[in-house]
Amino acid sequence: MSTDHTVTRLVNGHQAAVYLTEPPSPETHPLTLGTLHDNDLAVVFTYASAADSTLARAARNLLRSMGKDDSVTGMRMHASDSVHIAPIWLIAHRTRLVVVASAQIWPANVMTEFLRLVLATPASVLLVADHGRSHEVAQTCIGYTPVAKPWSEVTEAAEAAQTAKASAPKPPPAEQQVPRSDWLTYRADCREQLDNHQFALLDAHYLASLRTAQTALHATAQVDDHTVASILQAAIQTSATVNEAITAFRATQAAFFDAGINLRIDPDRLIALLANSRRPAYTETDWLSLRAYRDPVRPAICTLYGYHLNVDEIAAFCVGHARAALAEGRLNNRPLHEHARIYLAAQTLRRALEGADAAEPLIGLSTIGAALTTAARDTGVLIAGPHSHNSDHTRKLWHAGSGYLYGRIS
């Protein structure tokens, strides 16, 4: 869709302004303006909630509207951190308009602080009241005078946005992450937790992997390290994503059990082998999956990895290097993908707010390898990283660090 056209139509080119509208009848719900929400987050549609009793909660709700996922590792931050993180993402995404539906729900303190937070960025705010309640919203905007915006003008923009979206290329659907179940319940859990389309695709991969492993086992007189490694390698080679790899591994375990062998695997180690077997090449779905992180440091780490920097190089990558990459539009001699720009810009801005100078590390974490490992698990992006969560004793049990143990069932 034409984001510039939508924003210009609604805010008349002005920056850092507050606008107010309401539907002409009770039958028209403000949520109908949800089509204004743009996939690139230049326009963000959110809604006020009675649970937003503080600015921190309202900011967290805004981040959720921007695709941040409460279930991923990077969300384990204090609620108040949302107040500092939300403006960073608004700036990084170059958001120009934040639309708040049912705005009359917020008390004056939350509304005023929210406006102050958003207007500190280049974005404007469009407050959408329920029918007959715009005067209540205006009274909560202490220190701000909202500009009335006719409902017809807003709905025209929403309809134009809907038309543009209908004709534009559809963004890739977000892939659901497969359950972390053991092989005994994996297939049933996939059937229960995944949508029908994704389950059908993964189940076909499961059955194909099962047949491949069964054929290899039937053709083998003696199962040894070489046999197990070659069968797992075949599972790796036929898998293009983390979800496919985990599915193939679970099917392989089922095949081994049918042959009277208990095969234990460490999926993270095997996924690392899969990732190490090819150079990082993120798809559009991969880039969008990284949007789930609220903390900018994690997608920034994954961005640098995606541009073929190893753990040591990521640790040595400085704020000045990031600024140069953003200015030149290139990273590691490759054009900077738009999502890479967003994630790099967010972490660069965060480090600037922390007072870091150009010579200081962009990442500033000692656990970069662990962050890469959890990113593969959290988002399904094909990433290799050191697996430091296992103890030295446990590591010695895995065959050459390859992530499997096996033994005949007595």
- Regarding whether 151 and 37 lie in a shared domain, the answer is yes
* 148 SS3 class: strand
Token pair 């917020």 in the structure block, residue:
106
The reply to whether 400 falls in a domain is no
The reply to whether 409 falls in a domain is no
Residue 335 has pLDDT above 90, yes or no: yes
- Regarding whether 108 and 43 lie in a shared domain, the answer is yes
The pTM for the full model equals 0.73
The reply to whether 263 falls in a domain is yes
Residues 354, 293: Cα–Cα separation, whole Å? 19
Q: Give pLDDT, residue 116.
A: 95
- Regarding whether 137 and 39 lie in a shared domain, the answer is yes
The reply to whether 20 falls in a domain is yes
- Regarding whether 54 and 159 lie in a shared domain, the answer is yes
- Residue pair 41/47 in contact (Cβ under 8 Å)? The answer is no
* Residue 188, CA distances (Å) to 196, 229, 335 in order: 13, 26, 43
Q: Give pLDDT, residue 165.
A: 58
**In which element (H, E) is residue 17 found?**
none
- Regarding whether 10 and 154 lie in a shared domain, the answer is yes
157-182 residue pLDDT tens = 777 666 655 555 555 555 667 888 88
pLDDT class for 310, splitting at 50, 70, 90?
confident
- The total domain count for the chain is 3
- Regarding whether 141 and 16 lie in a shared domain, the answer is yes
> Average pLDDT, stretch 259-264?
91
CA 201 to chain centre: 22
- Regarding whether 217 and 73 lie in a shared domain, the answer is no
Higher pLDDT, 352 or 229: 352
Domain of residue 194: give its range: 183-273
Q: Give pLDDT, residue 34.
A: 78
The reply to whether 22 falls in a domain is yes
- Regarding whether 314 and 192 lie in a shared domain, the answer is no
Q: What is the DSSP letter of 27?
A: T
Question: 270-292: buried (b, 16+ CB within 10 Å) or exposed (e) per residue?
Answer: bbbbbbeeeebebeebbbbbbbb
Last residue within a domain, chosen from 251, 273, 295: 273
Q: Of 151, 175, 161, 128, which Cα lies nearest the Cα of 37?
A: 161
- Regarding whether 151 and 51 lie in a shared domain, the answer is yes
Q: Give pLDDT, residue 78.
A: 66
pLDDT class for 73, splitting at 50, 70, 90?
low
- Regarding whether 360 and 291 lie in a shared domain, the answer is yes
The reply to whether 390 falls in a domain is no
Q: Of 26, 27, 67, 24, which Cα lies nearest the Cα of 46?
A: 67
CATH number of the domain where residue 81 is located:
3.40.50
Question: How many C-beta atoms lie closer than 10 Å to residue 190's C-beta?
Answer: 22
Question: How many C-beta atoms lie closer than 10 Å to residue 55's C-beta?
Answer: 21
